[in-house]
Structure 1
Amino acid sequence: MAATRPSLWIFYVTNEKYQQILDSLMTAVIVLDHNLFIQHMNASAEMTLGVSGSKIYGKPIHVLFSSADGTPLSLSQALKENRNFTTRKANWILHNQTTITVDYSVTPSAEFGDVVVEVQPLDRLLRISREEAMLSSQETSRNLVRSMAHEIKNPLGGIRGAAQLLSRELASADLEEYTRIIIEETDRLRDLVDRMLGPHKSNKREHLNIHEVLAHVQSMLKAEVGSGIKIKCDYDPSIPDISADKSQLIQAVLNITRNAMQALTENKNTVEGSLTIDFITRIQRRFTIGRHYYPLVAKISIVDNGPGIPPGLIEDIFFPMITGRAEGTGLGLAIAQNLVGQHNGLVECTSEKGRTEFTLYLPLENDHA
């Protein structure tokens, strides 16, 4: 008799009121029958797994994801034994080959023959935690560098002034060469300190198209390297204008692009094929930066086919004075992160041999500015 009774969950989800309640939940909910065929998915589950519930109704669960932890077998055992269980930090490979990390809880119903799976995606939470730790460490490092820079800058003015006074008292032109070197090197150190201190001006926002910024950077790049590096563009023209300081964004993108350019030109003999930098823009929906949630952000990727960043440096490349180049100062990426951060955005990096990708995320709605 129980086998012919309608599923309690099926009754719920076919009722419009309960359908709306399920779809309003932040938790992803999947309902399976006794054969582990999909009976219902709420809106959060559709978004988490990247599928449409109506299109996969009645299909087996393995169309949603594959799992190295034996999730489908565990579901079958839970239903057979009428046993609830929770699994932490499971890695699921979705139908589009995207890997996600989730906590999931399983509640079987022996009476109705259903299994309810509640899924909590962890990638967002793990990324928030990672970003907060990174930004906090970077802020501490920046404050330390700023304090040091101020201490260095103060005596530089005195050294330069003393060298200028000394040069006026010297009778020999040959000796003036030494004071000239002191003045030039002092100026070079002062310029380095200014870069360590970062931008002094507050940003001046205006509505602009992000592709204008990229076009400006590309023109500068072509002027520096000519046809030595191939530039490719893959743009989403639907990205709306953003409120930003154009000069600061140009500087941020330029710092990242020059990093890619230098990596390519210094290692051109080891790069397979043409030296290439790709500029890619997309809209990212429902994105969190730090603990701020944004419905829409602009995603700008700068990709090069260089040798990649050494694994030992990848976690620290946005810290001041960290560089993989013998001639580098380690300030370009730190300044870029700081400038993007002033726009409530974030810069991330992934790298492997033959592909290094820097991604800028800029909110399209600056509610937290």
Structure 2
Amino acid sequence: MINTDIATAHLHSHISEQLTTAVILLDAALTVRYFNTACCAVLGLGEKRLSEQHFPALFLHCDISAQHFSGALSSKQGFGVSDVQAVLADGRHLLLDISVTICENPAGHLLLEIRHVDQQRKISLESLQQHQHLAARELIRGLAHEIKNPLGGLRGAAQLLEESLPDELTEYTQLIIAQADRLRNLVDRLLGPYRPAQRISANLHQIIEQVRQLALMDNPCNVQFSRDYDPSIPDFTFDPELIEQALLNIVRNAQQALEQTNKPTICLQSRVLHQHTLHGKRYKLVALIRVIDNGPGIPTEIKDTLFYPMVSGKAGGTGLGLSIAQTLIHQHGGWIDCDSWPGHTEFTLYLPIADTED
């Protein structure tokens, strides 16, 4: 006679092996006690690397920490998180959906279901961020118009008033004029660059080198720069001045973020991508520039709004540098993305090289 418990266990094991979702069983110490075949494919790890391993130790970084898992066990409440950033020990970056369930049998165990977020999800997120960015820009343009009109009148009135005041009182009208000018300059910076891109055929690496030289000339933290260029990137048409400004804004931000970092480093990297999609369009060739630093990482609370104007992780920062950079790259049909965790921040600039596919 067949033991029904054993038969049921074999059936459950067989079913789990047919799943495309990664299934992992963790004990109270967060040690891997079981995993299905799909787990190796989703995480890109072999059976020996997974078996009997402390699950958090598989990652250099993961948005879900050991405390989250331990807290779920203590409260006996599972949870689910989408778009979890995870970095494996070999440096590979994954975007995952993770669902955590508390097991009744065996008791004190966690069942993890992990799905790898595919490229389509990233494209959807990029499209959403693009619409949010454009909506924010339009809002700012409307506000700027409403601010600048009365501001001009206020400044003009102060100038007229100054003509009829004794000299000892003109310091007050000068203060009004100076503050009006300061506010106008801030609004102009919020609006960002207004001239259209003037495209010429140029070499991208020359622009990256110019940015590196400018950054080295003003480098109070003695940041060490390294280069990793792809010589296969051809010359293509873009506005060198606008791309230089966008890249310099990002590099300057990285330098400022490294002020409290021991042995601060920035890596400038270039690559060429084939058949890549940007803003819903598929391009034969896309140039990629990465700015990678070893700083503290971007605060979690501003990650989703990082490219919005007036959003900054620095005390006293205006938050305009990244917003302007994103606008400049948008003018070229490109995009800026960011991945960040403690000890690693990576800004990636995408610029179309070849025409879209028919």
TM-score by length of 1: 0.65
2:66 is the counterpart of 1:66:
no
User: Displacement of 1:202 after TM fit?
Assistant: 1.0
User: Displacement of 1:63 after TM fit?
Assistant: 12
Describe the shift of the 1:227–1:323 C-alpha distance in structure 2 as closer, same or farther (beyond 3 A): closer
Describe the shift of the 1:289–1:326 C-alpha distance in structure 2 as closer, same or farther (beyond 3 A): same
- Provide Cα deviations, 1:197-227, integer angstroms capped at 9, x if missing partner: 2222111100111112112222222222257
* Corresponding residue SS for 1:221: helix
The residue aligned with 1:204 is 198
Q: Aligned partner of 2:192: which letter?
A: G
User: Displacement of 1:67 after TM fit?
Assistant: 4.5
The residue aligned with 1:282 is 271
Q: 1:147 aligns with which of 122, 142, 146?
A: 142
Q: Aligned partner of 2:233: which letter?
A: I
Q: Aligned partner of 1:318: which letter?
A: F
Q: Distance in 1 between matches of 2:96 and 2:152?
A: 54
Conserved? CA contact 2:284–2:355, under 8 Å: no
Describe the shift of the 1:244–1:159 C-alpha distance in structure 2 as closer, same or farther (beyond 3 A): same
Describe the shift of the 1:207–1:264 C-alpha distance in structure 2 as closer, same or farther (beyond 3 A): same
The residue aligned with 1:164 is 159
Between the aligned residues of both structures, percent identity stands at: 42
The within-5 A match list for 1:173-322 is 174-225=168-219, 228-265=222-259, 268=260, 271-272=261-262, 274-322=263-311
Describe the shift of the 1:290–1:275 C-alpha distance in structure 2 as closer, same or farther (beyond 3 A): same
User: Displacement of 1:263 after TM fit?
Assistant: 1.5
- Provide Cα deviations, 1:32-73, integer angstroms capped at 9, x if missing partner: xxxx9xxxxxxxxxxxxxxxxxxxxxxxxx89953579xx9x
* Corresponding residue SS for 1:356: strand
Describe the shift of the 1:263–1:97 C-alpha distance in structure 2 as closer, same or farther (beyond 3 A): closer
Q: Aligned partner of 1:349: which letter?
A: C
* Corresponding residue SS for 1:313: helix
User: Displacement of 1:135 after TM fit?
Assistant: 0.7
* Corresponding residue SS for 1:314: helix
2:99 is the counterpart of 1:124:
no
Q: Distance in 1 between matches of 2:120 and 2:142?
A: 33
The residue aligned with 1:364 is 353
The within-5 A match list for 1:4-19 is none
Conserved? CA contact 1:234–1:279, under 8 Å: yes
Q: Distance in 2 between matches of 1:205 and 1:224?
A: 28
Describe the shift of the 1:67–1:135 C-alpha distance in structure 2 as closer, same or farther (beyond 3 A): closer
Conserved? CA contact 2:312–2:318, under 8 Å: yes
The residue aligned with 2:336 is 347
User: Displacement of 1:319 after TM fit?
Assistant: 1.4
Q: Distance in 1 between matches of 2:317 and 2:305?
A: 15
TM-score by length of 2: 0.67
Q: Aligned partner of 2:129: which letter?
A: M
* Corresponding residue SS for 2:307: coil
Q: Aligned partner of 2:41: which letter?
A: S
Q: Distance in 2 between matches of 1:222 and 1:287?
A: 33
Q: Distance in 1 between matches of 2:95 and 2:173?
A: 62
Q: Distance in 2 between matches of 1:324 and 1:276?
A: 19
Q: Aligned partner of 1:159: which letter?
A: L
Conserved? CA contact 1:320–1:334, under 8 Å: yes
User: Displacement of 1:239 after TM fit?
Assistant: 0.9
Q: Distance in 2 between matches of 1:317 and 1:287?
A: 24
Describe the shift of the 1:99–1:65 C-alpha distance in structure 2 as closer, same or farther (beyond 3 A): farther
Describe the shift of the 1:135–1:63 C-alpha distance in structure 2 as closer, same or farther (beyond 3 A): closer
User: Displacement of 1:282 after TM fit?
Assistant: 1.0
Describe the shift of the 1:324–1:98 C-alpha distance in structure 2 as closer, same or farther (beyond 3 A): closer
Q: Distance in 1 between matches of 2:217 and 2:163?
A: 41
2:327 is the counterpart of 1:338:
yes
* Consecutive aligned runs of 4 or more in structure 1 exceeding 3 Å deviation: 62-69, 95-102
